[in-house]
Each structure stands twice: as structure tokens, then as C-alpha cells.
Amino acid sequence: MARQQEPDHTAINLVGKGTVIKGEIQSKGDVRIDGKIIGEVHSEGKVVIGDTGMVEGDLFCKNADFSGKVQGKADVTELLTLKASATFLGDIVTNRLSIEPGAKFSGTCSMDREAPQAKTEKPK
């Protein structure tokens, strides 16, 4: 019997320098932004914002590396890295956060992504 192949979701989507997109982006693969996005970005993979990249809106992804400017909310299920050239204004919800010296972050950060069963309960 022939084996059915699943679609390849490892594609990298690129928003090039000088490109401006207004609206919502949804991707099963990775996204690299070197241009400007005004709106939400949803990715089941990694979102990379390059030095010239800018996002005005909310981001939802598995992992992220920010080198450019972000204004909004970042909801990252695993690791968010703010590189030295990054500027982030807004709220972060993530499991792990790495901020390099020189990065600018102004907002709130919540790292409360533990599984509910891992939380301790009072004995009865």
C-alpha cells in the first residue's frame, strides 16, 4: 500500500524589507519579518523579526526571536528571545524569556504557562 504523505509545514514565509502588510497573517510554518506588519501574526512555528522588521499588533507563536521593533502583545508558548537591537513595547506571555543586554522592553511579562496538574493544591 502506498503511504500518504502529509503536507510540508516547514515553509519559511518572508515579509521583505520595504513591504507593508495590514491585516492578519496565519501560517503553519515559520515567519520572518523584515518589513512592517500592522495587525496580528499567528504561526505554529517560529516568528523572527529582523533588524529592519516592525510589528504593530499581537503575535501568537511557538518560538520567537525579535531584533526589530514590536508594539503589542506577544503570546509565545515556548521561548521568546529579545536580541540586543530589539525594542518591545507591550505585554509578554511566555514559558521562557531571554533578553540580551541592550534590548529595550517596556510592559508586562507573565511566565505562568505551567500545566494545571503541576500546580500544588492544599491538602484536605
Q: How does DSSP assign 6-28, residue by residue?
A: PP----EEEE-TT-EEES-EEES
**Domain boundaries defined on the chain:** 13-102
CA 20 to chain centroid, in Å, comes to: 18
The pTM assigned to this predicted structure is 0.80
Average pLDDT over residues 100-105: 96
CA distance 99 to 12: 24
Q: How confident is the model at residue 118 (pLDDT cuts 50, 70, 90)?
A: very low
Confidence of residue 112 (pLDDT cuts 50, 70, 90): confident
In DSSP terms, 107 is beta-bridged to 90
